């Protein structure tokens, strides 16, 4: 590792640590209603524009919606956003997502995502650990254009289906990324 890269890496990880500490502070309680409102609006927009999301929503136990994730990077990147777990349209818990990436990347973007929990066991896995690392634990399927061609009520067997929506900005490159979802204390 070069002498310049090592201090830069420490700085980036320190910034993300501080963001996590600040976001989990009591000030988030003041923003719960805003987050809930934004999440419900984002979910309604997704359901209005995507038939696959409507099918999944009708069968899901709950939906975790992150209405606005901010992601930026230049070799080292990060992302952050707040979300709410909705069951039958009602908020039942609040979460944040953080991620760090490293690799050939440059840019910034904002986007939202919704995770449709099809089984109670997937929600249990989300809440049973100190954070939920995407890609570890319950299986997550990111829904793309090909999903509609193979989607039937018989083959909806995965734990979680995820949609990415409302992308703005440009982020390009290849990298290794870790993403963690953490339940916020009440």
- Taking only the tens place, the pLDDT of each residue in 15-61 is 554 445 444 444 455 588 899 999 999 999 999 999 989 999 999 99
CB 53 within 8 A of CB 112: no
Handedness of CA 126, 128, 133, 137 (dihedral sign): negative
Low-confidence ranges of the chain (pLDDT < 70): 1-30, 129-157, 171-177, 186
For residue 136, the model assigns a pLDDT of: 44
For residue 146, the model assigns a pLDDT of: 41
For residue 149, the model assigns a pLDDT of: 39
For residue 95, the model assigns a pLDDT of: 92
**Is the model's pTM score more than 0.85?**
no
For residue 36, the model assigns a pLDDT of: 95
Which residues are bridge partners to 82 per DSSP?
96
For residue 172, the model assigns a pLDDT of: 65
Cα(7)–Cα(29) distance, integer angstroms: 34
């Amino acid at each position: 590792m070069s002498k310049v890269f090592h201090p830069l890496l420490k700085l980036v990880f320190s910034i993300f640590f501080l963001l996590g500490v600040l976001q989990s502070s009591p000030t988030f309680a003041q923003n719960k209603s805003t987050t809930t409102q934004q999440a419900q609006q984002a979910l309604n927009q997704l359901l209005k524009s995507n038939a696959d999301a409507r099918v999944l929503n009708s069968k899901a136990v709950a939906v975790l919606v992150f209405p606005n994730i901010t992601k930026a990077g230049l070799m080292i990147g990060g992302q952050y956003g707040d979300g709410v777990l909705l069951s039958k349209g009602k908020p039942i818990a609040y979460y944040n997502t953080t991620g760090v990436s490293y690799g050939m990347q440059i840019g910034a973007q904002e986007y939202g995502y919704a995770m449709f929990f099809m089984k109670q066991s997937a929600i249990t896995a989300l809440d049973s650990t100190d954070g939920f690392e995407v890609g570890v634990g319950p299986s997550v399927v990111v829904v793309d254009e090909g999903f509609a061609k193979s989607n039937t009520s018989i083959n909806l067997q995965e734990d979680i289906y995820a949609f990415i929506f409302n992308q703005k900005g440009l982020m390009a490159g290849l990298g290794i990324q870790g993403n963690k979802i953490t339940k916020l204390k009440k």
